[in-house]
Structure 1
Amino acid sequence: MTVDSSDNDLSPTIETVGWVGSAQNGCVRLIDQTLLPGMFTRIDCQTVDQVWEAIKMLRVRGAPAIGIAAAFGALLGARSQGTESIESVRSALHDATAHLRTSRPTAVNLFWALDRMDRTVEAEASRLSDPSALLERLLTEARAIQDEDRAMCRSIGRFGAELLKPGQGVLTHCNAGGLATADYGTALAVIFSAAEQGKSVHVFADETRPLLQGARLTAWELQRRGIPVTLICDNMAAQVMKEGRVQAVVVGADRIAANGDTANKIGTYSVALAARAHDIPFYVAAPSSTFDLSLPDGASIPIEQRDPREITHGFGYATAPEGIEVYNPAFDVTPATLITALITERGVIRPATREAIRDLIGS
């Protein structure tokens, strides 16, 4: 794994993760988000294990970005056992996707992207005779996943911006911006699009304990884009709503069940309850790839449990007694009944019901 900290890219669109070089000799390049906002560093991953570690340790995070990283990581794996035969590439690809599936359990985009890579190698292995050509086809598929996400982000932004009014205060939780996707974000795409339309929204960003993705990442993205943003602690959200500073809530998602129940970063459910209590619309912005229609409801969504030290030793400092028992779920599930609308690249689903989801997303 190589590191480059010299490229402090401040262009409007951040390429969080991508592929550099040829299919035979290239690598996965990603921003190490664990170092932001203090240091902007890109990492080059040369192996499947390095991509797995980057996903597991949140160097790359956000459901769409995880899927893109995994797809490129699968290509690294496809060539890891040599390229002497089509079968060696095919076998290595399947080994890589199986390994990458164990990195994080909740975000469905990870599994969706790896399924696409598996299907691609099966479809092309019988058609192609040159292993190098098969690698090129796998790179094309991984880049297609990335390009499709870019387009979906822009479309989500356009649909979502129509739900916001000029001058509104908008609260968001965790990070669902360019750092979490291939381009524009999901929740932040709504805000970016609204700003581009001249609606002048003001964002309240929850810090998002325990790893502070809202403080470290969302506030950083919004500030560098010139969007007015105020950072608040997670436990201030209800008070900010009560004071009339917030007129809408927009969050992202890691998995959406068939009935609209939505898994997102821990604390999202509390925000949804506060929004309902204050009669504030609660919107979830996510691409169609985040829907898992095989799961009937949120009770079926697997919830990742993370290292207790994220709570007891946040950023290297002891903040709790040694040996204390810790419960650290990375996500919670917001019931569809608390969601005003689901914003997708295909349109707005309102209300968030099983029937409305089936009509727009499919069965």
Structure 2
Amino acid sequence: MPEIYPLEWSNERLKILDQTKLPKEQAVIIANNYVDVLDSIKSMSIRGGSVLSIAAAYALTLAAKSVSTNDVQKFLEYLENITYEIINSRPSMSSLLKVIDKIFGKLSSLSTVQEMKDFVQSEAEKIHKEDLSINYRIANFGENLISTGQTILTHGNTGALATSGYGTALGIIRKAYESGKKINVIVTETRPFLHGARLTTWELVQLGIPTNLIVDSAAGYMMVNKKIDSIIVGAQRIAKNGDFANEIGTYSLSVIAQNNNIPFYVAAPTSIIDTESLDGSSFPIEERNREEVINFNDLEISPKAISVSNITTDITPCENISGFITESGIIYPPFNNTY
């Protein structure tokens, strides 16, 4: 099967597969500095919790390399300011904060600026490699929940494009197919950025997995008419009690699934479990540009005078979830700091 890699670190620069151009064109952005990386995050050229954490680590690497001072304190102050910019590029993504804390928290133990620069890059490369290993472990655990002949619905994009190159929820589906199971996949278009229609279907076509694309509002019909056996989605952030934030529309799917006795699983690395948040009520809700809703492919589809709420994240309560598929196995809330 073809391999898909959204990021590549090479020759002191970051190559980014521009996901806003898919599926029509496979364009690559060359990020020579941290600003280029942040611009790619803000424009949604890269998106998805895991790949954003990797991109954030490389953004910090590029920022560190740009500093000419040998003064440790000035270097740390500069990098600290950059960390705020990185976190604010997608504030709803807990993975950004986690990776920054992981890298920045260890810098103070080093003696020289050069040691710090080398450490930041080595950590970025390590995080990149570790994520792929985590993807494989999630897929191995989740694949056991899928049987031959089943139809699985997924929402948003949680495959190679959203990670280091394999996937979480979509990685599970891929693993089941690679294991020889005859399965079908239903993909919601995932408005307004069409992550399902543009990205997930593109990945599934590359992999040769039988796929049916539906509009978001058709999911209820499919469930009521027993055309779906299970649902597997990803997550942006998970609270201590199991509430989780994800792409808008996830909550609605969970409610309909519960009403129709359809298993609803969340596939995610344990790194996005936020044990300091007791529940999902404190999670930031991202609202993006109105143009994403009223324009499609440069075509105006709604009057400009209309008021628009482009809320891109919702919170699904823990009671709607069958289980969390992680690299540590299938786990259940409440969660603690051991993950």
TM range (shorter): over 0.9
Can you list the C-alpha shifts for 1:266-302, whole angstroms capped at 9, x where unaligned?
A: 0011111111111100000000111111101011111
Whole-angstrom distance in 2 between the partners of 1:278 and 1:27: 49
Whole-angstrom distance in 2 between the partners of 1:61 and 1:123: 32
Paired residues of 1:79 and 1:89 also in contact (CA < 8 A): no
Whole-angstrom distance in 2 between the partners of 1:138 and 1:115: 12
Q: Which amino acid aligns with 2:153?
A: L
Whole-angstrom distance in 1 between the partners of 2:73 and 2:268: 37
Which residue of the other structure, out of 102, 120, 131, is the alignment partner of 2:88? Answer: 102
Can you list the C-alpha shifts for 1:243-265, whole angstroms capped at 9, x where unaligned?
A: 22210000000000000001110
Aligned to 2:50: 64
Q: Does 1:139 align with 2:121?
A: yes
Whole-angstrom distance in 1 between the partners of 2:69 and 2:173: 46
Equivalent residues in 2 for 1:222-237 (5 A)? 222-237=204-219
Whole-angstrom distance in 1 between the partners of 2:234 and 2:36: 26
* Aligned partner of residue 145 in structure 2, secondary structure: coil
Whole-angstrom distance in 1 between the partners of 2:151 and 2:255: 18
Aligned to 2:142: 160
Whole-angstrom distance in 1 between the partners of 2:74 and 2:173: 46
Shift of 1:85: 4.1
Shift of 1:120: 2.9
| Structure 1 pair 90–263 and aligned structure 2 pair: CA distance change class (3 A) | same
Q: Does 1:213 align with 2:170?
A: no
Q: Does 1:242 align with 2:224?
A: yes
Shift of 1:133: 3.6
Whole-angstrom distance in 2 between the partners of 1:166 and 1:89: 55
Whole-angstrom distance in 1 between the partners of 2:296 and 2:55: 26
Shift of 1:136: 1.8
Equivalent residues in 2 for 1:112-123 (5 A)? 112-123=98-109
The CA RMSD measured in Å over matched residues stands at 1.4
* Aligned partner of residue 44 in structure 1, secondary structure: strand
Can you list the C-alpha shifts for 1:55-108, whole angstroms capped at 9, x where unaligned?
A: 111111000101100110011111223154444443332222121111011111
Shift of 1:17: 1.5
Shift of 1:123: 2.5
Q: Does 1:362 align with 2:338?
A: yes
Equivalent residues in 2 for 1:188-203 (5 A)? 188-203=170-185
Whole-angstrom distance in 1 between the partners of 2:223 and 2:197: 19
Moved more, 249-258 or 138-147: 138-147
Q: Matched residue pairs, number?
A: 339
Q: Which amino acid aligns with 1:168?
A: Q
Aligned to 1:5: none
Q: TM-score, normalised by structure 2?
A: 0.96
Unpaired stretches in structure 1, ≥5 consecutive residues: 1-10
* Aligned partner of residue 306 in structure 2, secondary structure: coil
Aligned to 1:276: 258
Whole-angstrom distance in 2 between the partners of 1:93 and 1:117: 11
Equivalent residues in 2 for 1:35-74 (5 A)? 35-74=21-60
- Give the 4+ runs in structure 1 shifted more than 4 A: none
Q: Which amino acid aligns with 2:200?
A: T
* Aligned partner of residue 102 in structure 1, secondary structure: helix
Q: Does 1:293 align with 2:293?
A: no
Unpaired stretches in structure 2, ≥5 consecutive residues: none
Q: Which amino acid aligns with 1:70?
A: A
* Aligned partner of residue 314 in structure 2, secondary structure: strand
Whole-angstrom distance in 2 between the partners of 1:137 and 1:332: 36
Q: TM-score, normalised by structure 1?
A: 0.90
* Aligned partner of residue 123 in structure 1, secondary structure: coil
* Aligned partner of residue 133 in structure 2, secondary structure: helix
Identity of aligned residues (%): 38
Which residue of the other structure, out of 247, 251, 255, is the alignment partner of 1:265? Answer: 247
